[in-house]
Chain A
Amino acid sequence: MLTGMDSFQATIDADGRIEPRDAMPEGYRKTLIRQIAQHAHSEIIGMQPEGNWISRAPSLRRKAILMAKVQDEAGHGLYLYAAAETLGVDRADLLDLLHSGKQKYSSIFNYPTLTWADIGAIGWLVDGAAIVNQVPLCRCSYGPYARAMVRVCKEESFHQRQGFEILHTLCNGTEGQKAMAQDALDRWWWPSLMMFGPPDSASTHSEQSMAWGIKRHSNDELRQRFVDMTVPQAGVLGIRVPDDGLSYDEESGHYRFTEPDYTELYDVVKGNGPCNEQRLAHRVKAHEDGAWVREAAAAYAAKKAVRAA
């Protein structure tokens, strides 16, 4: 009979799933908490760049869709905080770590949404890249994280399609609208490639995460998958991927592309992106402004509990 860490390793070796109360190495638990919390933070911070356009969506249809999408992202955050809590942390504490800058969120959300076309580009590219990252996580060795990802992935496909539809409409509109779509692709292409993280040669956590079945593919593999999937879609839109080095390699069946400038990624992670301060300040303010609601609900629940007793 296997117990404790032997049982953990046997489960991992058999590609089984680890569940909340199983014994697990401290490093496994810590890695998962860090990754799931960062993922959850990204979902809720990601509501801001898109929320910026809800009041200015060009039609009621677009507005309803965008609200549903942003609401989904809040839901994704909640699924993920719930998954993180099964590892013995508390959601309120994770939010404190986000607010104090001790835990990160995806750098992509530190870029501004300057035009309506950016909403299209986010759905198409940012949600598209998120899907490429998240699909393999549905097979993550940690059960609650994998199950949350199944739910998230089901919902993401509409996010990507609505973004593509926005750009498709613009690309078939006036010259000015098409130029707006091109400008959005020009600005979002490189940050989207950076969403897969540093190149494999510089990635610090990857190897252990792969051995633990938390990560299933390397950053570079996923980045390549994204490029292969996205370039033909840009062709359908009739806009140009801003990479002079882009070419199709018949032999391998993959696109060759220029690597993004990772010094920019490291710089944005450090806090020097165009919107880092604004995003965090907005999050902290929303949290503080909502404090009275949480307190009132708790007071009401306490009063009712006394009466029922």
Chain B
Amino acid sequence: MSIEPLWEVFVRSRRGLSHTHVGSLHAPDATMALRNARDVYTRRQEGVSIWVVRAADITASSPDEKDEFFDPAGDKVYRHPTFYQVPEGVQHL
């Protein structure tokens, strides 16, 4: 077993964009995880900001129940603008 815990790495590629998951790595603590993430995932200036999160601290939805879990949004077509009929000739709506 690895003695260092696993960290998930998120990189903001440039200002104005969100952090995106890029992969993971092992490191003994958060400081080392950040430094390792810089060396592993941004050797070509792929990022301006990095987040590291202990993999064990992430709670994820279960793929087994993905249908039930996301069902409530399934029948609410009226949340989309395409649901509505716009009379001919109406603009800027």
Contacts and interface: CB of A to CB of B under 8 A. Distances in A.
B64 A92 contact: no
Contacts of A21: 60, 62-63
Interface residues of B, number: 23
Nearest to A3: B64
A220 interface: no
A71 interface: yes
Interface in A111-145: 144
Contact of B64 (A23, A68, A155, A294): A23
Interface string A66-93: 0010011001001100110110001111
Contacts of A85: 6, 24
B23 A72 contact: no
A240 B79 CA distance: 66
A170 interface: no
A1 to B, nearest CB: 5
B29 A92 contact: no
Contacts of A151: 22-23
Contacts of B29: 297, 300-301, 304-305
A196 B66 CA distance: 39
Contacts of B4: 294, 297-298
Given A82-B23, A300-B28, A301-B29, A90 B64 contact: no
A5 to B, nearest CB: 12
A72 B43 contact: yes
B19 interface: no
Interface in B42-81: 43-44, 60, 62-64, 67
A92 B23 contact: no
Contacts of A71: 43
Contacts of A91: 2, 26
A4 B4 CA distance: 32
B17 interface: no
Interface bin, chain A: 20 to 34
Contacts of B44: 155
Contacts of A155: 44
Contact of B67 (A1, A72, A298): A1
Interface in A39-95: 68, 71-72, 75, 78-79, 82-83, 85-86, 90-93
Contacts of A301: 28-29, 32
Contact of A75 (B28, B32, B43): B43
Contact of A90 (B1, B27, B28, B62): B1
A294 B2 CA distance: 10
A72 B65 CA distance: 39
Nearest to B65: A3
A155 B25 CA distance: 19
Contacts of A23: 63-64
17 contacts: A3-B64, A21-B60, A21-B62, A23-B64, A78-B25, A82-B23, A86-B24, A91-B2, A92-B1, A92-B2, A92-B3, A144-B23, A297-B29, A298-B3, A298-B4, A301-B32, A304-B29
